[in-house]
Amino acid sequence: MFIITCPYCGDRDQTEFSCGGEAHIERPKQPTELSDDEWAEYLFMRKNIKGVQFERWNHSHGCRKWFNIIRDTSNDKIHAVYKMGEKPPVI
Choose, by CB under 8 A, the member of 7, 19, 62, 66 that binds other proteins: 66
Q: Is 65 in the site for other proteins (CB under 8 A)?
A: yes
The amino acid occupying position 59 is H
Q: What backbone phi and psi angles, to 5 degrees, belong to 52?
A: -75, 125
C-alpha distances in Å from residue 20, one per residue of 30, 59, 62, 86: 23, 11, 15, 17
- Specify the DSSP element, H or E, that contains 84: none
**Site mask for other proteins (CB under 8 A), range 15-54, x = bound:** -----x-----xxx-xxx-x-x--xx--x-----------
Q: Which residues bind other proteins (CB under 8 A)?
A: 1-3, 13, 20, 26-28, 30-32, 34, 36, 39-40, 43, 56, 58, 60, 64-66, 75-76, 84-85
